[in-house]
A and B are shown apart, each in its own frame.
Chain A
Amino acid sequence: MSPHTKHRTPPSVSPLASVTAPLTRLLAAPIVRTFLDEHVFDFYARQLGPQLSLNRILARVEAIRSEARNVVSFVLRPNRNWRGFRPGQHVQLTVEIDGVRHARTYSPSNAPAADGTVTLTVKRHPGGRVSGYLHEHLAVGDIVELSQAFGDFVLPDPVPAKLLMIAGGSGITPLMAMLRDLLARGIDSDVVFAHYAHTHGDLIFAGELTDLGERHPNLHVHFGVTGTSALPGELSGRLSGPHLDRIAPDAAERCTLACGPGGLLDTANALWRERGYAELPRGEAFTPGVVTATDSSEIALRFARSFKDVRGKSGVPLLVQAEGAGLRPRSGCRMGICHSCTCRKQSGAVKNLLTGEIGAEPDEDIRLCISVPISDVTLDL
Chain B
Amino acid sequence: MTSSQSRPLTREEVAAFAAEVDELRNRIVADLGENDARYVRRIRDAVRWSELGGRALLFAGILPPAWALGTLLLGLSKILENMELGHNVMHGQYDWMQDPEFHSQTYDWDNACAAPAWRHSHNYMHHKFTNVVGRDRDVGYGFLRLFPDQPWHPAHLLQPPASLLLALGFQWGVALHDLELERVLRGEKSVEELRKELKPVLRKARRQLLKDYAIFPLLAGPSFVPVMAGNLAANVIRNVWAFIIIFCGHFTERVETFPESVLENETRGEWYLRQMKGSSNLEGGRLFHILSGNLSHQIEHHLFPDVPANRYAEMAVEVKRIAGEYGQHYNTGSFARQFASVVKRIVRYALPNTTPVRRTVDLLVERVGLSPRVEAWWAWRSGLRATHQPSAPGRAAVA
Residue contact A339 to B120, C-beta cutoff 8 Å: no
Tell me whether chain B's interface is mostly helix, strand or loop, or mixed.
Answer: helix
Question: By the criterion CB–CB under 8 Å, are A101 and B120 in contact?
Answer: no
Chain B residues with CB under 8 Å of A323's CB are: none
Q: B3-45: which have CB < 8 Å to A? A: 22, 26, 29-30, 32-38, 44-45
Q: Which of A42, A99, A335 contacts B33 (CB 8 A)?
A: A99
Chain A residues 309-323 with CB under 8 Å of chain B are none
Interface-lining segment among B90-98, B190-198, B288-296: B90-98
* Contact pick for B210, options A35, A102, A340, CB 8 Å: A35
Partner of A340 from B30, B96, B120, B268 at Cβ < 8 Å: B120
B344 within 8 A of A: no
Given A338-B124, A342-B104, CB of A35 within 8 Å of CB of B207: yes
In the complex formed, the residue of B with least CB distance to A98 is B33
Instruction: State whether A365 touches B98 (Cβ < 8 A).
Output: yes
Residue in contact with A332 in the complex, picked from B30, B100, B103, B119, CB distance below 8 Å: B119
B residues 289-315 touching A (CB-CB < 8 Å):
305-306
Tell me the nearest residue of chain B to A355, going by C-beta.
B26
B329 is an interface residue with CB less than 8 A from chain A: no
Taken together as a complex, chains A and B put the C-alpha atoms of A338 and B45 apart, in Å, by: 26
CB within 8 Å of A: which B74-114 residues: 91-92, 95-101, 103-105, 108
With beta carbons under 8 angstroms apart, the residue of B48, B96, B271 that contacts A43 is: B48
Q: How far is the CA of A276 from the CA of B104 in the complex (A)?
A: 54
Is B52 on the interface with A (CB-CB < 8 A)? yes
Q: How far is the CA of A101 from the CA of B37 in the complex (A)?
A: 10
Contact call A340/B101, Cβ cutoff below 8 A: no
A340 touches B124 (CB 8 A): yes
CB of A133 within 8 A of chain B?
A: no
Are B128's CB and A335's CB within 8 A? yes
| B223 close to chain A: CB less than 8 A | no
A333, B127: Cβ atoms closer than 8 Å: yes
In the complex, how many angstroms separate the beta carbon of B340 from the nearest chain A beta carbon?
31
Nearest CB on A from B264, distance (A): 15
Whether the pair A102, B119 counts as a contact (CB closer than 8 A) is no
Distance in Å from the Cβ of A367 to the closest Cβ of chain B?
Answer: 8
Give A29-57 as 1s and 0s: 1 = Cβ < 8 Å from B's Cβ atoms. Answer: 00000110101101110000000000000
Whether the Cβ atoms of B95 and A100 lie closer than 8 Å is: no
Q: Which of A299-355 contact B (CB under 8 A)?
A: 332-333, 335-340, 342, 354-355
Residues of A within 8 A of B33 (CB): 98-100
The chain A residue sitting closest to B96, CB to CB, is A100
Contact check: which of B26, B97, B305 meets A100 at CB < 8 Å?
B97
- A99 with B48: in contact, given A332-B123, A340-B123 (CB under 8 Å)? no
Minimal beta-carbon separation of A335 from chain B (angstroms): 7
- Establish whether residues A339 and B104, one from each chain, have CB atoms under 8 Å apart when the complex forms: yes
A365-B34 contact given A332-B119, A339-B306, A355-B29, CB 8 Å threshold: no
B127 touches A99 (CB 8 A): no
The digit string for A102-144, where 1 denotes a CB below 8 A from any CB of B, is: 1100000000000000000000000000000000000000000
The range of chain A's interface size is 20 to 34
Q: Which residue of A lies closest to B100 (CB)?
A: A39
Given A37-B108, A100-B97, residue A338 in contact with residue B119 (CB < 8 A): yes
Q: Which residues of A contact B120 (CB under 8 A)?
A: 332, 340
A62 interfacial contact with B, CB 8 Å: no
- Asked if B158 is an interface residue, CB under 8 A from chain A, the answer is no
Q: Is the CB of B124 within 8 A of A101?
A: no
Say if the beta carbon of A364 comes within 8 Å of chain B. yes
Question: How far in angstroms is the closest Cβ of chain B from A297?
Answer: 27
**Does B211 touch A at the CB level, under 8 Å?**
yes
Are B36 and A99 within 8 A (Cβ)?
yes
Bound complex: CA of A364 vs CA of B96, how far in Å? 9
Minimum CB–CB distance from A348 to chain B (whole Å) comes to: 17
Chain B contacts of A333 at CB under 8 A?
Answer: 123-124, 127-128
For the complex, is A250 an interface residue (Cβ under 8 Å from B)?
no
Bound: A338/B271 CA distance, A: 14
Q: Check: B363 CB closer than 8 A to any chain A CB.
A: no
B392 near A: Cβ within 8 Å? Answer: no
Q: Of all chain A residues, which has the CB nearest B90?
A: A339
Please, which residue of chain A has its CB at the minimum distance from the CB of B29? A355
Chain A residues, CB < 8 A from B101: 39, 42
Q: How far is the CB of B302 from chain A (nearest CB, A)?
A: 9
Contacts of A44 in B (CB 8 A): 48, 52
A355-B104 Cα distance, complex, nearest whole Å: 20
Contact A337 B29 (CB under 8 A): no
Kindly list chain A residues whose C-beta atoms are within 8 Å of the C-beta of B105: 339, 342, 365
Of all chain B residues, which has the CB nearest A94?
A: B98
Give chain A residues whose Cβ lies under 8 Å from the Cβ of B30. Answer: 355
Whether B184 is near chain A, meaning CB under 8 Å from some CB there, is no
Question: Considering only CB atoms, which chain A residue lies closest to B123 in the complex?
Answer: A338
User: Is B215 at the interface (CB under 8 A from chain A)?
Assistant: yes
In angstroms, Cα B210 to Cα A278, docked, is 64
7 pairs of A and B residues whose beta carbons are closest in the complex: A99-B37, A339-B92, A332-B124, A338-B123, A101-B98, A99-B34, A98-B33
* Listed A/B pairs (7) with beta-carbon separation below 8 Å: A43-B44, A99-B34, A99-B35, A101-B97, A332-B119, A333-B127, A342-B104
